[in-house]
């Protein structure tokens, strides 16, 4: 028996060819495409402006590999963590983060991760595969619906900061953003989207070449190669000098200010000397700096810094005219905070 094709892997032009070869009108493809990407249809039977024969043809030859919510946990601060089940039974996690001014979806780009960052629970997981563009898109739709149904508030922002390294799944991430931002898709502004990378220099340059309109965040966490090598093995081949070069290239091509993310660990990267090194790195290009409190993971070797050290660190940076935001973690009680996504949820049978 012939295996059904994933219809969302096809372009509009490919759909047009299929319909005309089947003796149908070419505009049928546009109707189906709109159902898939603008109306987020999960079955062909939802496509009510298609004839019964067309829907039967689609059901016979194609499949929509819709992502579903396997389990959901709600934090005391209203953060919602979702375990999403993929068509092959694998699980990724995504988080709805509500605040006074934003409703943010934090989504995953890979099943697991290959980068083994020492402070991150996801880094302990094996990378099983990349997510397809439609699987990334589905996470946004499910979290968007959650925001509207549970909090009566539209989704305002999307961050690619869940499981995986987005720039190691470049084509699918870019395709998902196209579907999310296109008028033929969800029509969300690219300026409301942030892609976070651990620092894949070659792909940061490619973002510049592609003239992307979304925001870029770099997980920095140390502005000293020796320290960064210890916590982020990727730095051994993507040193701070190499990264700085890539970031300058990105800024020259896009004019977009980059955000640096810096988790402050007790007795590791929280001294004024560390702050001075960070301030020096921030001088390469216009940037913003998010200081993030550490969320301890099981058997982790790092601890959260003290409030006094954090204040001194931030005051030093602000005295150097650097834009600094201190991010307080959300959803810690359900392991939904930054660095805590580790698929603790069991896959439902």
The catalytic site residues sit at 93, 338
| The two structure tokens encoding residue 116 | 């083994």
Q: DSSP string covering 256-273, please?
A: PPEEEEEEEBTTTS-SHH
Closest CA to 131 of 144, 118, 140: 140
Helix, strand, coil: what percent of the chain each, to 5?
A: 40, 20, 40
Best CA proximity match to 149, nearest among 74, 87, 206, 47? 74
Q: Which of 228, 260, 231, 261 is nearest to 329 (CA)?
A: 261
- Maximum Cα interatomic distance, the chain, rounded to a whole number of Å: 72
In degrees, rounded to 5, the angle at the alpha carbon of residue 262 between the alpha carbons of residues 274 and 218 is 120
Q: Determine phi and psi for 4, rounding to 5 degrees.
A: -70, 145
In contact, 128 and 91? CB cutoff 8 Å: no
CA distances from 266 to 94, 137, 237, 274, 275 (A): 28, 37, 26, 12, 13
Distance CA 20, CA 88 (A): 31
Backbone φ, ψ for residue 247 (5° rounding):
-70, -40
């Amino acid at each position: 028996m012939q295996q059904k094709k994933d219809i969302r892997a096809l372009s509009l032009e490919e759909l047009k060819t299929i319909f005309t070869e089947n003796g149908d009108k070419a505009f049928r493809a546009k109707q189906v495409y709109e159902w898939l990407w603008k109306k987020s249809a999960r079955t062909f039977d939802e496509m009510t402006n298609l004839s019964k024969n067309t829907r039967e043809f689609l059901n016979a030859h194609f499949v929509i590999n819709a992502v579903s919510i396997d389990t959901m946990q709600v934090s005391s601060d209203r953060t919602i963590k979702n375990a999403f089940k993929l068509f092959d039974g694998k699980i990724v996690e995504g988080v709805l983060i509500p605040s006074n001014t934003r409703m943010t979806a934090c989504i995953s780009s890979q099943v697991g991760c290959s980068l083994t960052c020492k402070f991150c629970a996801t880094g302990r997981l094996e990378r099983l595969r990349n997510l397809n563009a439609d699987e990334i898109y589905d996470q946004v739709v499910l979290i968007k619906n959650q925001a509207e149904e549970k909090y009566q508030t539209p989704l305002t922002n999307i961050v690619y900061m869940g499981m995986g390294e987005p720039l190691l799944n470049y084509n699918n991430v870019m395709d998902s953003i196209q579907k999310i931002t296109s008028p033929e898709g969800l029509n969300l502004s690219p300026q409301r989207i942030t892609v976070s990378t651990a620092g894949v220099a070659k792909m940061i340059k490619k973002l510049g070449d592609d003239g992307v309109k979304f925001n870029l965040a770099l997980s920095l966490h140390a502005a000293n190669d020796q320290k960064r090598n210890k916590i982020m093995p990727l730095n051994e081949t993507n040193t701070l000098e190499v990264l700085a070069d890539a970031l300058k290239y990105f800024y020259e091509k896009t004019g977009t200010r980059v955000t640096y993310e810096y988790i402050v660990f007790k007795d590791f990267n929280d001294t004024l000397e560390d702050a001075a090194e960070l301030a020096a790195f921030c001088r390469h290009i216009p940037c913003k700096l998010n200081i993030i409190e550490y969320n301890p993971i099981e058997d982790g070797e790092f601890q959260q810094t003290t409030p006094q050290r954090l204040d001194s660190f931030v005051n030093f940076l602000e005295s150097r005219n650097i834009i600094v935001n201190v991010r307080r973690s959300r959803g810690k009680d359900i392991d939904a905070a930054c660095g805590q996504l580790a698929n603790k949820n069991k896959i439902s049978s």
